[in-house]
Amino acid sequence: MAAQRGTEPGAGAPEVVSGVGVRGGDAPTAAPSTDPAARPRTRWMIPHGLDVAAGLAWRVVLVAAAGATVIYVAGTLSVVLVPVVLALIAASLLAPEAHVMSSRVRWLPHAVATAIVIIAGLAVVGGVFTGVVYAFISGLPQLTSQLTNSFTEIQAWVRTGPLGLNNQQFTQIGDQFLTSLQESQATIAASALGAVGTVGELFTEGLLALFTLIFLIHDGGAIWRFLLKAVPRTVRGRADVAGRRAFASLVGYTRAIIVVAFIDAVTAGIGLWLIGVPLAVPLAALIFFGAFVPTLGAVVSGAVAALVALVSGGITDALLVVLLLLAVQNLEGYILQPLFLGKSIKLHPLAVVLPIACGLVVAGIPGALLAVPLVTVLDTGIRSLTRPGDADVDPASVNPLDPRSARPEFADPTINVGAPDP
C-alpha cells in the first residue's frame, strides 16, 4: 500500500520541474545560481550620499592640485612669464596699428611698420615718464617746505595740545627716534643694495619684454599657428576661433582701459590744480596708472592725493580732494566704463575684485595688474569653446585685431587671411 501510495500522482512524491527540486506540497525553490553577478550582495553598501561626496572630494582635490602646480610653476618662472604677458598686452595695443599701416600703405614692409609703432610707443611712454619726473622734481621744494611747516605745527600741537609735553620730553622723544634711525642704517643699506639688484632685474625684464613684443607684432600670426599644432586636429578650428576671440577681447580691453585712465587722470589733474594741491601732474599720472588696477588702484592713488592735500593745505583741501576723487570714480563707474569697457568685457564686479586680490597675494603688484586682463581673455576664450554656434565658425572670418570679433555675432568674410595677425 505504501508503495502504491508513493506512486500515485499528488501523493507527495518528489517531482522535478524545470530543473528545480521540490517536495510535494511545497512552493518551487530556485537552485543556487553559479553567476556571481546574480548572487545577492552580502556585504554592506556605501550610502549614495557618501559615494557622491567622495567622488566630488577627490575631483576637487585633483583640480586644486593642478591649480597649485600651475601657480607654483608660474611663480618660479615669473621673471620670464611677467615680461611675456606684458609684451602680449602691449602687442594688443600696437599690433592693430602696425597691421593698418602695412595693409593700407602697400609699399611699406611689415617689418618697417613694426619698427615705427614700437619706436612711437617707446617715445610716448618715455615722454610721459620724463614729464612726470620733471614735474615731481620741480614741485618737490614746495612740498618740502610745506612738510617742514606741517612738522612745525605738529611740534607746537604736541607741546600745547592735549599731550602737554615739555621741551625736555619732546627732546627725549626726538633723541629716541634718531637713535632708532641710526640703528636701522644697516637695514637701510641692505635695502638700497636690494633696490639696485631690483633695478637690474627690471632692466633685464624690460629688454625681454621688448624683444618679445617685436616678434609678437611682426610674426604673431606664425607664432599662433605654431601653437595651434599642439591642439588635436579635430578641435583645432574651434580652438583657433576661441583664441582669436580671446585676443580680440584683450585688444578691446586695452584700448578701453587706456581711454578711461586718460580721462580720469585729466579730470583729476585739473581738479587738483584748481584746488591748489602741489604735484598735481605727478598725482594725475599716479591716478592714470592706478586706473589699470580697478577698484584697488583708485583707492591707493586717492589716498596718496588726499595725504598730499592734507599736508599742503590742511583738512579743507583734503576733503575737497576726496570729494573730487569720488566724483571722478562715479564718472568712471556710471559713464566711462559702460561706454567703453561695456563693449569689450562683461564681467561681474566680484569677478574683478577677487582676481585682483588673488593676484596681489600670489604675485604682488604685477599680479594685481595682470589679473583683470587674464580673466578677460579666459572668460572670452572659455565662452567661445563652450558656445555651440562657434563650432561652425570659419576661423578666417574672425579678426583677432578687431574688438568686435570678441562678440559671437561678428564675422567678416572679407578679412585678408594672409595678413599678419597675432
pLDDT digits (tens, 9 = 90+) for 202-253: 788 889 999 999 999 988 888 999 999 999 988 888 899 999 999 998 998 8
Q: What pLDDT sits at residue 402?
A: 81
In this structure, the number of other CB atoms found within 10 A of the CB of residue 276 comes to: 12
Least confident of 8-22, 43-57, 154-168, 308-322: 8-22
Measured CA to CA, the distance from residue 101 to residue 107 in angstroms comes to: 10
Interval 60-83 mean pLDDT: 89
Model pTM above 0.75: no
Contact of 153 with 161, CB cutoff 8 Å: no
pLDDT, tens digit, 9 for 90 and up, residues 125-147:
888 778 777 777 777 677 667 66
Buried b (16+ CB within 10 A) or exposed e, 237-251: bbbbbbbbbbbbbbb
In this structure, the number of other CB atoms found within 10 A of the CB of residue 372 comes to: 24
Q: What pLDDT sits at residue 134?
A: 78
How far is CA 36 from its chain centroid?
56
- 3-class DSSP state of 382: helix
Q: Which of 41-45, 73-77, 320-324 has the highest mean pLDDT?
A: 320-324
Interval 285-289 mean pLDDT: 84
Mean pLDDT for all residues in the chain: 76
**Helical pair 78-104 and 236-275, crossing angle rounded to 10 deg:** 90
Under the banding of pLDDT at 50, 70 and 90, the label for residue 38 is low
